[in-house]
Amino acid sequence: MIVFKYNLYVIYFLTFFYPFLLHADTSDIVKKGFDLAERQYALLYQDHKDMSKYPRSADRNGKTTFTDIRDWTGGFWPGCLWYVFDYTGDDKWRDVALKWTNSLRQNQFNTNHHDIGFVMNCSYGNAYRLTGDTTFKAILIQSAKSLLTRFNPKVGAIKSWDVFPSWDGKHTYEFPVIIDNMMNLELLFLASKLSGDPIYRNAAIRHAETTLKNQYRPDFSSYHVVAYDPNTGAVLSKETAQGFSDNSAWARGQAWGLYGFVVMYRETKDPKFLQAAQKMAEFYIKHPRLPQDKVPQWDFDVNQAGFVPNWNYRKADFETIPRDASAAAVTASALLELVDYMETGQQQEYLDVAEIILRSLGSPKYSSEVGANGLFVLKHSVGSIPHKGEIDVPLVYADYYYLEALMRWNKRSHRLTQLMKQWQEMNRQKTRALKDFQQQKFGLFIHWGLYAIPAGIWNGQKMEDLGSPSVAEWIQLVAKIPRSTYAKLADQFSPQSFDADKIVKMAKDAGMKYLVVTSKHHDGFALYGSMVSSFNSEQATPFKRDIIQELYDACLRHKLDFGVYYSHNIDWKDGSDAQYAVTKAQHDMLNKKTDAFGANLWDPSTNSFASYLNKKAIPQVKEILQRFKKLKYIWFDMPGLMTAEQSFRFYKTVYDLNPNIIVSERIGNGMGDYAIPGDNRIPDLSEHFTKPWEAIGTFNHSWGYKSYDHDWKDVDELRYWLLEIVSKGGNYMLNIGPDAQGNVATPVKKNLAILGKWLRLNAEAVYGTSPWTIAHEGPTIIRITDTEQREKEGFKAAFTASDFWFTQKKDFVYAMALVVPKDGIVKVQSLNQNKAKVKSVEILGFGRIDFQQDNHGLQLKLPKKIQNSSLGYALKIKLG
Ligand code: GLY
């Protein structure tokens, strides 16, 4: 395990304060869209292997049409593939997206048009976001450099095209800026973050400010083209290129502008950009001619009075005014980010429109049949009607922004709220199971696996000399052992002394009520015959036995509850880098630190983390639940960088197969059923637990077997842990690490046997109890805060006859003492008359005894037999 110090219940609280925004389960929209994308794109990439031709649209016969690397749309095809990978987590999409992305490499030097932002951000930007591969950084920075060559400080803008001839044929402009250019600014912000050089960002801000000043009308409809004098910066003309008329609102232009100002606000937090974005959103949402399905006509002003085209427009050519699905898709995606920057109360209308757009686009009216529509997802977009090109066709960028919007819908914070609602619903069903768990009080934890063979020493070096953490089960990370070398340990794994019955019986006799064993630890090695991965005790070792099955059966025989530990996030063999690089790429953009703790950065598997989840972790959890029907606990560990969606997926997988299984807090993201206050840590009384909790500790300092760690807890320390934890209301799970032969250390067996004897006598004061109003009285205060502290400072305690730990059950309070007073006179101050009236007192295992009670406490004299006890005693006190 582990090395967690503290846990906070962060996301849990969101549940209560974040209003529930969704009307229905909307995940179907997302699934439907991506299912279709997967089917269409699988056909498209199989059919089409020429990497110099980028799918763009379809001809009249539904055949895909292509474009070359110089075009503005080349990045969308790899971009679509990246979104499919993002959604499915299937590495085949990653691999094909990578291939297509890399085919655009040369474009980093392209200075011929402003669209290099579209091309490179949608391809390489996503590649970096989803792989974290830092080699993409240089390409993205160079692309931004190329784009910057078109920035003119006099104008304060990036030149979109090199020339723009007016439709009236009278003018040719040399410095046209189109509203679409707002979409290229995101690349500039990214380049500044990746390079640390503000030059790109500053240019983006200038460009947006110039656009805001010159490209909008008071109603926040935009001019498509503004032509500048490159020498003076003066505005020469405001016109359209692809819209209906110079003064009209071209639908996609509106969408580009909206999206661009949302990005501007994200990156600068300047309120004027938020205001611009909101005004553009309002223009779209509230437009009287926006159809009910919220997919706009290609221009909002077609055939309206006061809007006169100066290109060759013939109304008769259009029986109905074409819609533009691409404009709707871009708008939906922009709205779904914009709401993140708005007050909760303002969001609903925007969310509703986004949802309607996504539902419309997902309907048969706009979504293709499989195999049709040039193998794109969406139908009914418009390229440019004035240019008489691509009218009512699929367009690759419509697909791209549609998939992006679906991903945003999927990831939106109200989805998180929805997840937490669903989580709460499932968690509520476990009240009974959790109550039972809380009665148990004492359990055995077992860490066992291949790491028991090196036992803390690698190539003659102790772990402490190699790095940290120095717990034996982390040796692969600490010694940076390559996966193939570590896997060879399996050839030596033959623990001939392993006897499940002996271990379970030892736990039972020690007074333990449950057992949790590592079914798969961070090294990825399973202790059961997994059908999912052959790296397991049955198939990969000469031992050829199913250890988990044997322990499970033994627990059933001896009536101990059974649970498994499962390392769901860290898997050094198959779990890639536990999504470190990907998360880091995303965090870097937000100037957030990323913790690599536990990640395999020395020899990560080459698959993605998403495919590890899909192909190993989730299937293994399923097979464990299907095999061990009477499983009670699943102990996930070290969630690291896991997202809420990922934690939820594990929780729901468990719940769907067995709703009675309770899940440890370390599933991550506040989605555990019970809390774990830390490793080798006893929580303070002041800590408030909203869930049942379990303190965990090792017998020595390591969880897995470590040949040179002999600092075993003695009986007093074990009893202290148990009493301190139980009196505060928790469970204590005590860990052992059998050696490579399956032996349990002699002091462990000996001390557990003594502890069991004591517990048998005092069982009533421990099991099924709850905390009393006071947990402990007496002079001995010990704080055990973590593994390192205990290891460094040891356990120094001189318990006195004045130390008592309390529990309660029904009308009884139990007072437990570890030390018998020399004179036999017992004084319990907390049980003074002011606090409670004592009716009777019994010594457990002995019987009733006389007492006195006054304002100073409860007083009694122990009988001779108890005075000789080396293990203290427990009082059962009836209150009146
Ligand atoms: N940026 C070109 C278009 O939207 O058609």
The predicted structure's pLDDT at residue 324: 98
Q: How far is the CA of 241 from the centre of ligand 1 (A)?
A: 10
| Vertex 155 angle, CA 151 and 159, to 5° | 40
Q: Is 352 a catalytic residue?
A: no
Q: Which of 738, 763, 788 is the last residue of a domain?
A: 763
Examine the pLDDT at 187 and tell me if it is beyond 80. yes
Q: Above 50 in pLDDT, residue 13?
A: no
Task: Name residue 211's amino acid.
Answer: T
Cα 180 to averaged position of ligand 1 atoms, centre (Å) = 6
- Mean pLDDT for all residues in the chain: 94
First and final C-alpha spacing in the chain:
47
Tens digit of each residue's pLDDT (9 = 90 or more) over 200-213: 999 999 999 999 99
Q: Once rounded to an integer, what is the mean pLDDT over residues 314-322?
A: 95
Instruction: Please give the helix or strand (H or E) that residue 164 lies within, else none.
Output: strand 164-165
Given the residues 180, 324, 637, 739, select the one marked as catalytic. 180
The answer to whether 384 is annotated as binding is yes
- How far is CA 791 from its chain centroid? 32
Does the annotation place 252 within a ligand binding site? yes
The catalytic position among 86, 91, 115, 324 is 115
Mean pLDDT of the 10-18 span? 28
Question: pLDDT per residue over 463-510, tens digit each?
Answer: 999 999 999 999 999 999 999 999 999 999 999 999 999 999 999 999
What pLDDT sits at residue 3?
46
Ligand 1, residues 118, 161, 164, 256: which to mutate, most atoms within 8 A of Cβ?
A: 256
Q: Is residue 180 marked as binding?
A: yes
Distance 256 CA to ligand 1 centre (A): 9
**Structural domain contains residue 637:** yes
Based on the fold, state whether residues 861 and 750 are members of the same structural domain: no
Any atom of ligand 1 within 6 Å of the Cβ of 180: yes
Is residue 596 one of the residues assigned to a domain? yes
pLDDT tier, 880 (very low <50, low <70, confident <90, very high otherwise): confident
As a whole number of angstroms, the distance between CA 434 and CA 705 comes to: 31
Q: What average pLDDT score do residues 261-272 get?
A: 97
- pLDDT band for position 678 (cuts 50, 70, 90): confident
The string of pLDDT tens digits covering residues 237-256 is 999 999 999 999 999 999 99
The number of C-alpha atoms within 13 Å of 504 and in the hemisphere containing its C-beta is: 24
Nearest Cα neighbor of 18 from 28, 27, 10 is 10
Q: Mind listing the pLDDT tens digit for each residue in 142-184?
A: 999 999 999 999 999 999 999 999 999 999 999 999 999 999 9
Which atom belonging to ligand 1 lies closest to the Cα atom of 115?
A: 1
Domain boundary (733, 763, 793) is at 763
Residue type at 214 in one-letter notation: N
- Tokens standing for residue 668: 């991550």
> Is the per-residue pLDDT at 27 higher than 70?
no
Q: Which among 384, 391, 401 is the best mutation to test ligand 1's pocket, defined by most ligand atoms within 8 Å of the CB?
A: 384
Residue of 222, 224, 242, 388 to test ligand 1 pocket, by largest number of atoms within 8 Å of CB: 242
Q: Is the shortest distance between the CB of 390 and ligand 1 below 6 Å?
A: no
Shared domain check, 683 and 554: yes
600-626 pLDDT per residue, tens = 999 999 999 999 999 999 999 999 999
Asked whether residue 610 is domain-assigned, the answer is yes
Model pLDDT, residue 249: 98
Q: Which atom of ligand 1 is nearest to the CA of 178?
A: 1
Which pLDDT band, with edges at 50, 70 and 90, does 870 fall under? confident
In this predicted model, what pLDDT tens digit does every residue of 729-764 receive, in sequence order? 999 999 999 999 999 999 999 999 999 999 999 999
Query: Would you say 147 and 184 are in contact if contact means Cβ atoms under 8 Å apart?
Result: yes
- How much distance in Å is there from the Cα of 292 to the middle of ligand 1? 25
Strand pairing class (442-446; 731-736): parallel
Asked if residue 567 belongs to a domain, the reply is: yes
pLDDT range class, residue 25, cuts 50, 70, 90: very low
* Exposure string for 496-531, b = 16+ CB within 10 A, e = fewer: eebbbeebbebbbbbbbbbbbbbbbbbbbbbbbbbe
Q: How far is the CA of 138 from the centre of ligand 1 (A)?
A: 27
For 101-117, the pLDDT digits (tens) are 999 999 999 999 999 99
Domain check: are 752 and 654 in the same one? yes
* Three-class SS state of 519: strand
Under the banding of pLDDT at 50, 70 and 90, the label for residue 439 is very high
Domain that holds residue 818: 776-879
> Both 593 and 716 in a single domain?
yes
| Confidence band for 9, pLDDT divided at 50, 70 and 90 | very low
In a domain, 56, yes or no: no
Task: Say which amino acid occupies 320.
Answer: T
Q: In the prediction, which pLDDT does 4 show? A: 40
Both 748 and 780 in a single domain?
Answer: no
Residues 704 and 630 in one domain: yes
699 and 748 within one domain: yes
Pick the atom of ligand 1 nearest to 118's CA. Answer: 1
The residue to which tokens 């006890």 are assigned: 869
Question: How is residue 866 written in tokens?
Answer: 């108890």
> Which residue do the tokens 């498994």 mark?
564
CATH number of the domain residue 692 falls in: 3.20.20.80
CATH number of the domain where residue 831 is located: 2.60.40.1180
DSSP, collapsed to helix, strand or coil, labels residue 531 as coil
Say what percent of the chain tops pLDDT 70: 97
Which of 771, 621, 746, 755 is CA-nearest to residue 689?
771
Q: Whose CA is nearest to atom 5 of ligand 1?
A: 383
For residue 710 the two structure tokens come to 């002999």
> Number of structural domains, the chain?
2
C-beta neighbour count of 46 within 10 angstroms: 10
Alpha-carbon distance of 85 to 71, in angstroms, equals 24
Give domain status of residue 427, yes or no: no
Q: How many A from CA of 530 to the centre of ligand 1?
A: 52
Q: Is 252 in the pocket of ligand 1 (CB under 6 A)?
A: yes
568 lines ligand 1 (CB under 6 A): no
Closest residue by CA, ligand 1 atom 2: 180
Q: What is the pLDDT of residues 382-412, one digit of tens each?
A: 999 999 999 999 999 999 999 999 999 988 8
Looking at the structure, tell me whether residues 738 and 822 fall in a common domain: no
What 3-state DSSP class applies to 91?
Answer: helix
Are 719 and 788 found together in one domain? Answer: no
Give residue 193 CA to ligand 1 midpoint distance, Å. 27
Q: Which atom of ligand 1 is nearest to the CA of 383?
A: 5
Quick one: angle between helices 10-17 and 413-428, nearest 10?
A: 100
Question: Is 712 found in the same domain as 628?
Answer: yes
Q: Whose CA is nearest to atom 1 of ligand 1?
A: 180
> pLDDT tens for residues 334-389?
999 999 999 877 888 999 999 999 999 999 999 999 999 999 999 999 999 999 99
**Residues 458, 466: contact at Cβ < 8 Å?**
yes
Residues 663 and 793 grouped into a single domain:
no
Strand pairing of 694-698 and 662-663?
Answer: unpaired
Atom of ligand 1 nearest to the CA of 242: 5
Greatest alpha-carbon pair distance for the chain in Å reads 117
**DSSP 8-state secondary structure symbol assigned to residue 266:** H
Distance 182 CA to ligand 1 centre (A): 11
643 is in an annotated binding site: no
pTM of the model: 0.88
Q: Is the pLDDT of residue 22 over 60?
A: no
Q: Answer yes or no: is pLDDT of 24 > 50.
A: no
Respond yes or no: is residue 180 known to be catalytic: yes
Single out the residue of 715, 723, 752 nearest to residue 736, CA to CA.
Answer: 752
- For residues 745 and 792, state if they share a domain: no
Buried b (16+ CB within 10 A) or exposed e, 330-341: bbbbbbbbbbeb
Model confidence pLDDT, tens digit, residues 559-578: 999 999 999 999 999 999 99
Write down the pLDDT at residue 5: 36
Residue 801 belongs to a domain? yes
Choose one of 763, 791, 809: the last residue of a domain.
763
149 in a structural domain: no
